[in-house]
Amino acid sequence: MSTSTRVDGQPVGTATDANAATGASRTPRPSVQDARARRGRRGWVAWLWFVLALVYAPVLLVMVLSFNASQYGTLPFEATTEWYAALARNTALVEATSRSIVLSASVAAAAAVLGTALALWMVRFARLGFTLFTALLTTAITIPWLILSVAMLLVANAVGLGRSLPMLFLGSLAVALPYVVLVVLSRLQGLGTELELAARSLGARPLRAFLVVTLPLISKAVLGGTLLAFVITFNNFPIHFFLAPFGFNTLPMEIYAYVRTGYDPDINALATVLIGVAVTLGIAVLLLTRRRARAPGATSGLQLWRDGAP
């Protein structure tokens, strides 16, 4: 039972009311664990920004220097587009870039087809050797490219191919193929075979069921693996250096020749152009995939087959 108190003969209130008012005005103190958690989060955020700066700062520096009038990239900074005009006149760099693009696109296309087929075979038919094949593919991507390039050159000399375009293509494909297989394989494992079996039960042939039902569902994985194969082939200097025929300089080989003899601002301009193209393509692919996913009339491949779509 609460009691009342008086001050100078006037009632002030009950003790319970006083305690309640005191408790309502008191804010809870943050615990020591909460303070440590906040400090930990701030530390991780700072570390993340440091890593991002470490990765992107050199790229931004190259882009800035491509607009600097100084031939050696020194201060003071004076804006110019002279090096882009010089790049357009540099036939060696332009031809090397075109060779690298054609080679990378060819290897990426072949890796997409063969990698998707191999991943599909592993999921559907290689159940007993699935773990072994996965381990072999994972081991293949851990082998240093330099060691692999020297080994392929020895094999090429032994079979009489030597440094040639077929050997360059096969060597680049051997490096890029495991990446495509593993990317597509991870998507196929989580997909299951129910939809494809349902399409076949509705009268679709195996190839038709794969093209109409399964392929649209794994298209993002196939696209991601293809882009990864393109980038790996484009940047694979050891394979190009040891397997490309004499006189067939790709872009990494041409850049190596330029850097070995000194600084050339044309390289900065070329790097900026390639970065711009890569970023534009990445944004375009992202927007395209999001638009297709959010399309109001989007239907599954099984629904299209059941409705008799061509």
| pLDDT at residue number 309 | 45
Tens digits of residue pLDDT in 46-59: 999 999 999 999 99
Domains delineated in the chain: 35-82 (no CATH), 91-288 (1.10.3720.10)
Indicate the pLDDT class of residue 293, thresholds 50, 70 and 90: low
Q: Which residues pair with 79 in a beta bridge?
A: 68
- Residue 278's alpha-carbon distances to 9, 231, 249, in angstroms, are 84, 10, 22
Among 97, 180, 184, smallest CA distance to 141 is for 180
Indicate whether 14 pLDDT > 60: no
**CB 153 within 8 Å of CB 109:** no
Neighbours of 222 (CB within 10 A): 19
**DSSP output for 72-93:** T-PSSP-B--HHHHHHHH-HHH
Separation in Å, CA 245 to CA 62, 73, 129, 151, 168: 30, 34, 38, 16, 8
Q: How many CB atoms lie within 10 A of CB 23?
A: 8
pLDDT of the residue at 144? 92
- Indicate the burial class of 133 (C-beta count within 10 angstroms; 0-12, 13-18, 19 or more): middle
Strands 10-14 and 4-7: antiparallel
In the predicted model, is pLDDT for residue 292 greater than 90? no
Q: Which of 219, 26, 45 is nearest to 116 (CA)?
A: 219
Q: To the nearest 10°, the Cα dihedral for 12, 15, 20, 25?
A: 60
pLDDT of residue 304: 46
Q: 176-196 pLDDT, tens per residue?
A: 999 999 999 988 888 777 777
- Note the pLDDT tens digit of each residue in 224-233: 999 999 999 9
Structure confidence by residue, pLDDT tens digits, 247-275: 899 999 998 988 887 777 888 899 999 99
pLDDT digits (tens, 9 = 90+) for 157-170: 999 888 999 999 99
Q: In this structure, are residues 184 and 177 in contact, taking their beta carbons and an 8 Å threshold?
A: no
